[in-house]
Amino acid sequence: MIAYAPYLILLLPLFSAVLIRLVLHPFPRIAVPVSVAACLGSFLGSLVLLNGGTPSGGMAAPAVTWIELGGLKAGFALMADPLARLMATLVTGVALLVHIYSLGYMAKDPCRSRFFAELSLFVFSMLGIVFADNLVSMFIFWELVGLSSYLLIGFWHSRPAAGAAANKAFLVNRIGDFGFLLGILGAWSIFGTISFADLSGRVATEAPFWAVTATGLGLLCGCLGKSAQLPLHVWLPDSMEGPTPVSSLLHAATMVVAGVYMLIRVLPILELSALTMNTIAWIGALMTLLPALVACQQNDIKRILAYSTLSEIAYMVMAIGLGIPGPGMYHLVTHAFFKCLLFLAAGSVIHGCHGEQDIWKMGGLRQRMPFTFLVTWVGTLALAAIPPVSGFWSKDAIFAATHDRPGLAACSMLAGFFTSFFMLRMILVAFEGKPRSENARHAHEGPPVMVVPMLILAVFAVFGGMLPVAEFLGMKPEQSHHAWTLWLSLILAAAGFLPAYFLYRDAPKDPLQVPLLQGKFYVDEFYQRVLVATQDGLGRLADAFEGWVVRGLLVRGSGVVARSAGQGLRLIQCGQVQFYAAVFILGTLGLVAWLLWKGAA
């Protein structure tokens, strides 16, 4: 019976989404519990499945024949190996806490039935990626996750900014997905299979280096889009326009980690090309640092956390580029706990401050929201990798792998310094001092349904580092912890608190003004003025060509010629015998004249 558990875990959220949208939508008091119950069922099923096999073994759910075209065979089957079982438990567990939290956060929203239906659809889509046993199945659920995120980011569609953010996320991800699709085609053409189980056994190939590299880089493109890494990272900060529970779910254990999960699945392909692995490692290293710098000048509490997500996901990407998926997955798990906690805490602040998100319009929240203040500190210490909380142990394993790569080590460790800086800045401005607005003066803690999920996540943020993730997955953990990487990373992380404390402990406004960071390195402006403007120019040129040449000259011109020719023929075919006789005589005279001229010549 346990062999069918993945199908039950997968289909429960889908059943909930369909039932709510088609039947229960007008009845939120019924629809909301149905969504929560479906997520709870998937979580309990994942817990059973987690312990349902040997740590190193896998289970395959019964397959259904789907595509069989020439040499391409793709059945619909669900893979339940240790990696999938762990990921499913993480996704459903975090999703369940977000569902419970949303009971309080979305209690007064008139569209909460639609919200929970879309939340269920999102969980179904992510679980499809987790359990997919081949690249084609994964790609289909990959696109469903894109659709679900589009719906959730643009949930408050009456706000123009929400609609624009949803469109941006959808379009930017399509760029990455195009590369992902090319990578899938490359994997099939080179290895003759798209099954994850078969790929690991067929990597010994005589394929050209360029083909293997191109395939790996194509697969990487999919990760760059979903996990918001350079240069396709621009959609993630704007996704904060969605409700805060959505931000928490997107950033903690679902969409943005889907790319990392996919890279671990296709690692046997990536490892065939040193160029691909180095590219992954350097993209990860740069993205640990650049978003951390930008976060130092952001004022929106959710955007600060969004940029920290970009940085933390980059640590996982860098770990894969270094060939250590175990520590990468380890950090993925611990990050899910403390990042979900931080976003829920931010949501608690926004809820308590009646919708305010600007930290410079807060202040004094420590006295009014003491529990939120406490769990924010727990999440901050985990994010900054301060021992003994979970983030320290997972990041330390990644830092250790950079001991012989000074460039990667410098980027990732400096990122730790700025992470501590911008997180303490956020806490001091939002929670300390005096209230700077009426919303802050009347701030309050949320209801118990919002407090309990944060409490549970705080416990895991502290003790989650004890989970033997790499051992459970059968991956080799990073054992060679080098003393200098450990101490240097810790010193830099702790040092980041000092300048933040002296700059922001009593600051009435931001003492730092760095336009480059406030403008987010002007990447969006570059895309808008160069890429989008070029595309718009080409579009206008194509429209002009179609209007003047295709429609004007070819379509309308040919019509004019045909109509004119018809009118000319109509003049000749008049039906009058006198006219025909005159034409005959003129023709005869013309023929005689031509013959006389030829004879004279």
Quote the pLDDT of residue 1: 53
In a domain, 294, yes or no: no
User: Residue 415's closest CA among 223, 286, 515, 231?
Assistant: 286
φ and ψ at residue 63, rounded to 5 degrees:
-95, 155
Asked if the structure places residue 451 within a domain, the reply is yes
CB 43 within 8 A of CB 100: no
Same domain, 470 and 551: no
**Which of 456, 488, 518 is where one domain is finished?**
518
Same domain, 545 and 503: no
DSSP labels for 9-65?
A: HHHHHHHHHHHIIIIITT-HHHHHHHHHHHHHHHHHHHHHHHTSS-TT--EEPPPEE
Given 487, 518, 549, the domain boundary residue is: 518
| Per-residue confidence (pLDDT) for residue 584, from 0 to 100 | 79
Assess whether 508 and 555 both reside in one domain: no
Please report whether residue 509 resides in a domain.
yes
Helix axes 135-153 and 255-265, enclosed angle (nearest 10) = 170
The token duo for 263 is 């890279």
Identify the domain containing residue 396 by its residue range: 327-518
Same domain, 448 and 541: no
- For the beta carbon of residue 243, count every other beta carbon within 10 angstroms: 23
Three-state SS at 425: helix
**Among the listed residues 341, 290, 284, the one whose alpha carbon sits nearest the alpha carbon of residue 313:** 284
First to last CA, the chain: 106
In sequence order, which residues have a C-beta less than 8 Å from that of residue 426 and are 6 or more positions away?
Answer: 301, 304, 359
Mean pLDDT in order along the chain per 10 residues (601 residues): 79 95 91 95 92 56 66 75 92 94 90 93 94 91 93 89 91 93 91 82 73 94 93 90 88 86 93 93 95 95 94 95 91 93 94 91 92 95 90 86 89 94 95 90 90 94 84 65 76 92 91 92 89 84 78 74 75 71 82 80 63
Residues 272/125, Cβ–Cβ less than 8 Å: no
pLDDT, residue 597, reads 81
Structure tokens at 443: 């701030």
Query: What is the 8-class DSSP label of residue 241?
Result: G
Helix axes of 325-352 and 82-105: crossing angle, nearest 10 degrees: 0
**Is the same domain home to 548 and 434?**
no
Residues 560 and 494 in one domain: no
Residue 123 lies in a domain: no
Question: How far, in Å, are 431, 500, 532 from residue 503 at the CA level?
Answer: 15, 5, 39
**197: buried, middle or exposed (CB in 10 Å: 19+, 13-18, 0-12)?**
middle
Task: Establish if 219 belongs to a structural domain.
Answer: no
What pLDDT does residue 347 have? 92
* Structural domain count, the chain: 2
pTM of the model: 0.88
Last residue of a domain, one of 455, 488, 518: 518
Burial of 65 (0-12, 13-18, 19+ CB in 10 A): exposed
Please state, in angstroms and rounded to a whole number, the distance separating the CA atoms of residues 459 and 455: 6
Question: Is there a single domain that holds both residue 413 and residue 438?
Answer: yes
Question: Quick check: is 505 in a domain?
Answer: yes
Q: Do 448 and 510 have their domain in common?
A: yes
So what's the pLDDT on residue 70?
A: 65
Three-state SS for 396? helix
Q: Output the pLDDT for position 55.
A: 45
pLDDT score of 571: 67
Does residue 539 sit within a domain? yes
- pLDDT, residue 232, reads 92
Whether 564 is in a domain gets the answer: yes
Question: What would you measure as the largest C-alpha separation in the chain, in angstroms?
Answer: 120
Cα 317 from Cα 284, distance rounded (Å): 5
Q: Are residues 371 and 485 in the same domain?
A: yes
Distance CA 48, CA 41 (A): 11
Which pLDDT score is estimated for 56?
46
Strand partners, 67: 74
Give yes or no: residues 381 and 437 share one domain: yes
My answer on whether 507 and 589 are in the same domain is no
Shared domain check, 366 and 331: yes
Structure tokens of 467? 């989970």
